[in-house]
Amino acid sequence: MKELLPYIFAILVGLFTTAESYISSELGEITTPSIATFYNLFIGVIIFSIPLMLNSNVAKSSEVFKTKPLLLTGGIFGALIIYLTAKSIPSLGITVTLTLVIASQILSSFYLDTFIYKFRPLGINEIIGVLFTLVGVWFIVK
């Protein structure tokens, strides 16, 4: 079961991404994408504050100020992901938007894994996978 858990988490991330994208774009249409992004992140802070306080990890959270400032930029990317998704969906729809999001995630992570971190060697399977990803995007976007 322990080996299965990361796969379940990854599938949940995909499902949650779709749900979050839809909800943020709907809220962004009623208000603005900026307001939708703010409330999305604000509610997230409230939700994650509860277990942080209950587990007495508040003292441990001060360690974040001892890290490299670059490691704190994830929040900027998270906010931009929510905002740009909320801006894209009304024009492109959920399927095209998330197809482009997922394809760009696959291609950028492939680049990092293969050429920067050297987790994966570049072989024929990887090249075929990249080509299939690009062809799949083309078919869905067209």
| CA nearest neighbour of 78 among 44, 112, 30 | 44
- pLDDT tens, per residue, the chain with 142 residues: 679 999 999 999 999 999 999 999 999 999 999 999 999 999 999 998 888 888 877 777 888 888 999 998 999 999 999 999 999 999 999 999 999 999 999 999 999 999 999 998 899 999 999 999 999 999 999 9
Determine the pLDDT at residue 1. Answer: 66
Which value, to the nearest 10 degrees, does the dihedral of the CA atoms of residues 127, 130, 136, 142 take? -110
Domain segments of the chain as ranges: 1-92, 93-142
Determine the pLDDT at residue 116. Answer: 95
Determine the pLDDT at residue 62. Answer: 80
| CA nearest neighbour of 83 among 122, 20, 36, 45 | 36
| CA nearest neighbour of 22 among 102, 97, 104, 101 | 97
Residue 114: DSSP 8-state: I
